[in-house]
Each structure stands twice: as structure tokens, then as C-alpha cells.
Structure 1
Amino acid sequence: MGVWDFDAIGTRWQIVMPAAPDDGVRERVSAVIDAFDREWSRFRPDSLVTTLSGGGRVTAPVDAADMLDTYVALSRATEGAVNPLVGGSLARRGYDAAYSLTDGGAAPAPAAWDDVLSWAHGVLQLSAPALIDVGALGKGRLVDLVAAALGDEPAVVDAGGDIRVRGRTERIALEHPYDSATAIGVWEITDGALCASATNRRAWGDGLHHVLDARTGQPVRTVAATWVAAPTAMIADAAATALFFDGGVALAHEWDAPWVRMLSDGRVEWSPGCPADLFLPR
């Protein structure tokens, strides 16, 4: 069994394959990650989204339509709580390119974001200054791309809790958001993805974390963690984000994506027929 651990895009990755990936595989994976980061990272001064933040137009990345079309569904389901122009709101709260972690106060993202941001005919365009942030689903998308770059061998790709499994079955622990040494259950995944999101990750200051309501610029308070299974990591990641808000349950049902979530008061909810093995009275 070959295990490759490395750091990229601000998180720890682990790739497990039948044998250690050779130099060619490692080069392909590194190239995929670097290309995605150069396009979509708001933390890089040379990235496409940083360049575009003042407004204007650029050639759209190949991922733009798939990701931003999914954002339309996310935004509609959550009544605007999920919004790809939330980057400015996150930066203002301290989650900025310099990682200042200094809170400048709440500021909502542009409400009619799809009037400001367009991605038709191979062009990505902002009609006004704004900062794109694809954190609601971008890491999941990148996990899918990395899995594809590995070829056809069985593999597990884990990017900080966004996991894609191919050609094998994996039992994955659901980490308790208030005690990382324990789990609230396990989920068995075969040829699919399981993505998690939690407010104890990327957290700073007095109750600040990376899951903001784009309508207000305020961090979510009612949900502590979510887990979603889906055929792709992008869809699992997107649904895991949606479940922090009203409308997320209906969207996960529409996507046929089973889920578990823990509320901030410690109660656990799950979708009907969810196959996760939860360590709770049922």
C-alpha cells in the first residue's frame, strides 16, 4: 500500500493507492493543484480571481461553468446565504490574503451576485469590483480533479476531510466538532465521495469561522458540522455547505445525497435512510 502525504491549498492531503505513486503521477497531481490554485485562490496575488477582483473579464477556467452553475442551485436553495462573491465578506472578518485574522465587522456580499458575475461563452466577467470565493465547493472539485489525475487504479484522496474513494471501500470516521479525538459515527463509502464541513475548522477570534451567511456577513451559529455523501466530491462539498442553512436539507434531497449534521447544541440530525453508522440512540 502506498501513502503520499503533502500540504497544498492550506490543508493536509493524503493519497492512498495500491503502490506509492511514481514521479509521473506526483507531477500530474501537483500540476492539477497548482493550476486550480492559480485560477481560483483569493489568497494568491497572481491568481485569476485576484486579478479579476477590480472588475473586468478574463478567459473562463474550464471549471467555471460546472462550479458556478452549482452555485446558482446553492444560492437559490439557501435564499442567497451561499454566494460565490462572499470573498470580500470573509476578508473583512479577517480571513484575508494576509491571514490577518483581524475582524473588520460584518459586510454582506453582493445580493444579486449573478448580475455582477457572469460566465458565458468562455468568458468570466465581473461588472463591478468583487472577490470570488469558491470555498463552498472548490476543494471538493479539486479532489475530483486530483482523483482523475491518478489514473484508473483504486485510490483514496483525502483533502482535509473532503474524500473521494475509487475502486475500494473505505470506512470513514465522522469527527466530533467539539472533540477531535472522538467520532460521532462512521460512514462506509464505496466508489464515491464523503465531504465534511465544521465551524471548528478555519476558526479565529471571538466565534469567527469560515462559514458566513453571505446575506449578513455573520458566521453561522446554529450548525456545528455537516457530512454528505455523493458520487462526486464537488456535489458532496456543496451540499455540506448548504446544510448550514435553511434549504440545505431540500437541496441534498434533490441531489439524492444522504447527510448527517450536528447542531450547535449537540443534537444530531440525519437524512431518512442515511447509511452512516452513528454512535447515538436511534
Structure 2
Amino acid sequence: MTLWRFDAIGTRWEIESERDLTGHERARVSGVIDRFDREWSRFRADSVVSSLADGGSSVLPADAAVMLDAYRELSDATAGAVNPLVGASLTALGYDAALSLAAADAEPAPEDWTSILGWRDQLTLAAPAIIDVGALGKGRLVDLVQQELHTVTGGLVVDASGDLAVRGRRIRIGLEHPFDPARAIGVATIRDQALCASAVNRRAWGAGLHHVLDARTGMPVRTWAATWAIASDAMRADAAATALFFDGGVQLAADWAVEWVRMSTDGRVQRSPNCPVELFTTASGPLADAAE
């Protein structure tokens, strides 16, 4: 197996394949990532979502329907806790385009986001807002990169710093402990699937501030520390990993046939009944295996 490492969209990528990818194949991957970033990054002044921050319309990006339709399911399942107009909430807490990390008062996202954001023939905002697709966007991009490499034969792993998709191989993946990156709470075994993770120790700044927000309050979540989700595609795994921080996430995962593990901020662990994960024990005894 060969490994191609590179940085994109603010994170580290690794693509593992049975042969070196050609220059043309690498250029195609870079093109897919750049196109997605130019459309959906709120950190780029020249992106589509940045151009709409004051309201207005644009040509409909290729991935708008599949992502925003999924967001509607996420929002319904979590009673509005997950919302693609959460960008202003993240900005208010300092996770802004300049990465100022200077927090102001919390700003809830609009509850009626589907009446403000439209994605039928054009991408439209009926009022000023900041679109942020972080709940599932990285997973969607992993899927797009894997699809772009469909002509590459043999085993393939596309890994965007913990959000990954596997084709033609069986691999084991450690589930990083959210309070001690040197440890794992278990190991997942997957083949021809995707695994995505989310944790409050990633993209964290200040006292208790991190990127997983409840859109209804504009504040970081407090009950769950980390989630892992396994699905047939990375976008749904990424979306489910976000939903599992909230009430309704377990039911959505079941509806989507997603297997999962999550760890609370006080160290309790829950998992879905058929999740292909071996959980480890700790010095204080076995990790709890429970259902919501």
C-alpha cells in the first residue's frame, strides 16, 4: 500500500491505495476539494456561502440538495439542535473566518431556517445569515474524493483526519479517548464502509468552548464528549456523529442504519446493538455498554 498525505480545508488528509496515484489522479482529487471549498467554506471570502452572508442568491452548488436535504432530516430528528445556519453562532463564540477565538455573547441560530435558506433552483438566503455545513460537509467531501478515484483498483482508504471511507479492504480503527489522545476506548473493524468521529476536544478554544453547538442556544454541548458513527457513506456517518450529541440522534441513526458509539463527559459509554466495535476496559473497570 502507498500513502499520499496532504493538507486541505484546514485538516490533514491521507489517501492509501495499492499503487501510487498518478499526477492526473492527484490533480482530480485536488480539483474536487478546491471546488467544494470554494462553494462551502465560510473561512474563504471568495466562497459562495460568504457571498451570501448578507442575503441573496447564487447558482445552486452541485452538493446543495443532498446535503441540505440531509440537514432537514437532522434538524427534525434533533428538534432543531442541528441547523446549517449555525455559522453566526460559531462566529459569535470566536470560531470565525479570522479564527479570532474571541468569544462574545452566544447567538442562537434562526429556528425557522428552512424559510430563510432555499436550495431548489438556486441557493438563496432571504435574510443575512452564515451557512455552515460542518455537521456533515467533511463527510460529503470524503465521499466525493472516493468517487473521483473510482477507477483506482484495489483497496482504497480516504481519511480526512478521522472522517474516513474504506473500499475493498478490512481495517481496524482506534477510537481516540476524548480526554487522552494517547489512549483509545476501543477499536472498530470496517470494510466497504465509512467511519466518522466528532469530539469536543477537537477544534476547542477557551474555557468550555468547542465547535459542536446546539443551534437553539448557540452554546457548546455539555453532555456528550465524543461520538463515532459507521455507515455506508461518509456523509451520513458524519451527520449521525453530529446528531448523536443530542436527543433524537439515536433514533435517527437507527432510521439510517448507522452503527455508533458515544462517550459522555462523565465517562459513560453507549453503543448501538450491532456496532462492530470492541470496547476496552479502564483501570476503574469495564466501560458501560448501554442504550439510550
SS in 1 for 2:193: strand
Match of 1:124, as an amino acid? L
Rounded to whole Å, the distance in 2 between the matches of 1:28 and 1:242 is 32
Return the alpha-carbon distance in structure 1 between the equivalents of residues 191 and 167 of structure 2. 7
1:24 aligns with 2:14: no
Q: Which runs of 4+ in 1 moved over 3 A?
A: none
CA distance in 1, matches of 2:276, 2:96: 38
**In the alignment, what sits opposite 1:270?**
271
The separation in 2 between residues aligned to 1:27 and 1:99, in whole angstroms, is 29
1:47 maps to 2:39: no
SS of equivalent residue, structure 1 residue 252? helix
Once the two structures are TM-superposed, the CA of residue 151 in structure 1 deviates from its matched residue by 2.3
Question: For residue 132 of structure 1, what is the aligned residue in structure 2?
Answer: 131
Shift of 1:20: 1.6
Query: 1:101 aligned to 2:140?
Result: no
SS at match of 1:130: coil
Which residue of 1 is the match for residue 62 of structure 2? 62
**Aligned equivalents of 2:107, 2:130: Cα separation in 1:** 13
SS of corresponding position for 2:194: strand
SS of the counterpart of 1:118? strand
Using the alignment, how far apart are the partners of 1:51 and 1:98 within structure 2? 16
Which amino acid in the other structure matches residue 73 of structure 2?
A: A
| Aligned mates of 2:37, 2:5 — CA distance in 1 | 18
- Which amino acid letter does the alignment assign opposite residue 65 of structure 2? A
CA distance in 2, matches of 1:163, 1:143: 7
Q: 1:222-237 residue pairs with structure 2 within 5 A?
A: 222-237=223-238
SS of the counterpart of 1:26?
helix
1:185 maps to a residue whose letter is G
Q: Which residue of 2 aligns with 1:2?
A: 2
> C-alpha deviations, 1:181-217, integer Å up to 9, x for none?
1101111110010000000000001110000000000
* 1:214-254 Cα shifts (integer Å, max 9, x gaps): 00001001000000000000000000000000100010011
Provide the identity percentage. Answer: 64
- Number of corresponding residues: 281
Equivalents in 2 of 1:230, 1:114: separation in Å?
26
Find the aligned partners of 2:183 and 2:88 in 1 and give their Cα distance.
35
Question: What is the TM-score of this pair, normalised by structure 1?
Answer: 0.98
Q: Distance in 2 between matches of 1:157 and 1:176?
A: 22
Residue of structure 2 in register with 1:91 after alignment: 91
| TM-score, length basis structure 2 | 0.95
Task: Name the SS of the counterpart of 1:250 in structure 2.
Answer: helix
2:195 alignment partner, SS class: strand
| Contact 2:190-2:276 at 8 Å conserved across structures | no
Instruction: Give the match for residue 247 of structure 2.
Output: 246
In 1: Cα distance, 2:24 partner to 2:85 partner: 36
Residue pairs, 1:123-162, within 5 angstroms:
123-152=122-151, 153=153, 154-162=155-163
Match in the other structure for 2:190: 189
Uncovered stretches (5+) of structure 2, i.e. residues with no partner: none
More moved, 147-156 vs 96-105: 147-156
Deviations 1:45-98 (A, max 9, x none): 000000011101111111000000000000000000000000000011000000
The two structures, once aligned, show a CA RMSD in angstroms of 0.8
